[in-house]
Structure 1
Amino acid sequence: MNPDALQELLKAISRGEINPETALEQLKNLNFEPVADFAKIDHHRHLRTGFPEVIWGPGKTPEQIIQIMNTMARHSPVVMATRIEAAIAEQLEAEIPSLIYYPTARICALQSGQTSFQASGVISILTAGTADLPVAEEAAITAQLCGFQTQKLWDVGVAGIHRLLSHRDLLAQADVIIVVAGMEGALPSVVAGMVDCPVIGVPTSVGYGTSFGGVAPLLTMLNSCATGIGVVNIDNGFGAAILAGQILRTAQRISSRNNKRNNF
């Protein structure tokens, strides 16, 4: 944050030149904070989008990740780094003792307090098979760190459809469902035909040669005849969780707005 810009903004508010609502919009785009010569931290991203910036681990050195996480931790109650392998996590934990590592999800997190961007609702996360768990856990841990309630249902793919059908009550409780599937990627279509909430399909790179590293399930999900399905990129559990969170936050905002109208 640029102190001079912030001071000028506060003075303008005190002089009555701008109102608090306009000031908030300007705060959403205040300056970033450099970290050495390799990163620029966007501290106000959660004001604009509802979620803070998250660190993409691959391609960064452990030293860079450590510096970025420490910088972000001064401003945010939750700091996340995704796609962190176990060997890298060990190096991070040696320098940041309070770091929490989720090995299946490959997420490192610092959590100093309760998130301020919680919303009501349940995000259910399903996998077609056990091999899809890393992507599903990435979605689950991301959603939980963002303050959302999750429920998990693993290994309920279409090859044994009775496993899914035996959990109809759990599906009925969900407000948003994330379905993670590789191979041919048929599970989101089946689920979407059973529920009355949004379904987010996540194709995984799990499968034999003609799955083309996840392209086959991606195309299956995109071409689904079932309605109410949105699809994210291959192996993108993180993106699915954020999309589910935005759906719930939007529903809560609409509900709050309607309640205010009804109270007038």
Structure 2
Amino acid sequence: MNEKDIKELLVNIKENRISLEDGVKAFKELPFKDLGFAKIDNHREIRVGYPEVIYCGGKTVEQVKEIIKFMMTKENNILATRATEEMFDEVRDFCKEAEYDKEAKIIRIMKNTPKVSDSYIAVVAAGTSDISVCEEAAITAETFGNKVERIYDVGVAGIHRLFDKLDIIRGAKVVIVVAGMEGALASVVGGLIDKPIIAVPTSVGYGANFNGLAALLSMLNSCASGVTVVNIDNGFGAGYSASMINKL
């Protein structure tokens, strides 16, 4: 429920289109809805501008299904990250509009069409192996009403590929740079553009990559100014933060 919904509810109560009892019931559930195993934050969009997103990792199929069932009673778009195909199959049984992106591992239910920003976010991937994290970031940003430009496989091992796309990258309001291995791409891009960069280290790489720790430390130690770093493989966090910057 957002501010517009609250105003509409109050007007409906005032004009007797909704009974006082139903209005009280709606306001009782406004802060959160307790499902026993989860407390759904109905108030989040009012506080921070975006509704609650479901992180499916560690949840059972049944828990994800019940959370989505309740969230469908509201008018918000629904985004569920790190979802499995099994979870999606269960959701599709009661919601034919649900979409699933295998690469991003995202379930999405678009109940309304967001106003799309004029400015755009660039999502830049070092290698093809990083695309799953990139797509999590890109789809998150698109769900929140952002235009996204995807620029993939432009890592430092073939840096001429990056230079070929610099005009698109420089035109973005904010840039998400996703890289595994040694994570060097974020520093390179940071030295070439005048826009904020959100760097995402990925767990892609051989043994000494330590499942993304090497890339994370490289990005945190970047000598390029304007580089902010999120957690390993956290495409969602990057997409969310980029959306907030793009909407400023």
8 Å CA contact 2:179, 2:202 repeated in 1:
yes
The whole-number CA distance in structure 1 between the counterparts of 2:42 and 2:87 is: 25
Corresponding residue for 2:33? 33
8 Å CA contact 1:62, 1:92 repeated in 2:
no
8 Å CA contact 1:33, 1:42 repeated in 2:
yes
Corresponding residue for 1:24? none
Corresponding residue for 1:218? 216
Figure out how many residues of one structure are paired with residues of the other and give that number: 226
- Does 2:79 align with 1:80? yes
1:121, distance to aligned residue in structure 2 (A): 2.0
User: Equivalent residue of 2:149, what SS?
Assistant: strand
Please tell me the residue identity of whatever aligns with 1:63.
E
Once the two structures are superposed, residues 52-105 of structure 1 have per-residue CA deviations (whole angstroms, 9 ceiling, x without a partner) of 100011222222212111211222330011001223322322232221111111
1:119, distance to aligned residue in structure 2 (A): 4.4
Corresponding residue for 1:136? 134
Corresponding residue for 2:231? 233
Corresponding residue for 2:56? 57
User: Equivalent residue of 1:234, what SS?
Assistant: coil
Structure 1: 5+ residue stretches without partners: 15-26, 251-264
Corresponding residue for 1:111? 110
**Paired residues for 1:100-179 under 5 Å:** 100-115=99-114, 119-179=117-177
The whole-number CA distance in structure 2 between the counterparts of 1:99 and 1:71 is: 14
Corresponding residue for 2:21? none
The whole-number CA distance in structure 1 between the counterparts of 2:63 and 2:89 is: 15
Structure 2: 5+ residue stretches without partners: 15-26
The whole-number CA distance in structure 1 between the counterparts of 2:239 and 2:69 is: 24
8 Å CA contact 1:77, 1:114 repeated in 2:
no
Corresponding residue for 2:95? 96
Once the two structures are superposed, residues 178-198 of structure 1 have per-residue CA deviations (whole angstroms, 9 ceiling, x without a partner) of 000000000011111111100
8 Å CA contact 2:121, 2:175 repeated in 1:
yes
**Paired residues for 1:173-212 under 5 Å:** 173-212=171-210
8 Å CA contact 1:120, 1:248 repeated in 2:
no
The whole-number CA distance in structure 2 between the counterparts of 1:170 and 1:114 is: 25
Once the two structures are superposed, residues 124-176 of structure 1 have per-residue CA deviations (whole angstroms, 9 ceiling, x without a partner) of 00100000011000000000111100000000000000000111211121110
The whole-number CA distance in structure 2 between the counterparts of 1:147 and 1:74 is: 21
User: Equivalent residue of 1:177, what SS?
Assistant: strand
Identical amino acids, percent of aligned pairs:
47
The whole-number CA distance in structure 2 between the counterparts of 1:40 and 1:64 is: 12
The whole-number CA distance in structure 1 between the counterparts of 2:117 and 2:44 is: 18
Please tell me the residue identity of whatever aligns with 2:108.
A
The whole-number CA distance in structure 1 between the counterparts of 2:204 and 2:169 is: 24
8 Å CA contact 1:123, 1:151 repeated in 2:
yes
After TM superposition, the runs of 4+ consecutive aligned structure 1 residues lying more than 6 A away are none
Corresponding residue for 1:255? none
Question: Taking structure 1 as the reference length, what is the TM-score of the superposition?
Answer: 0.81
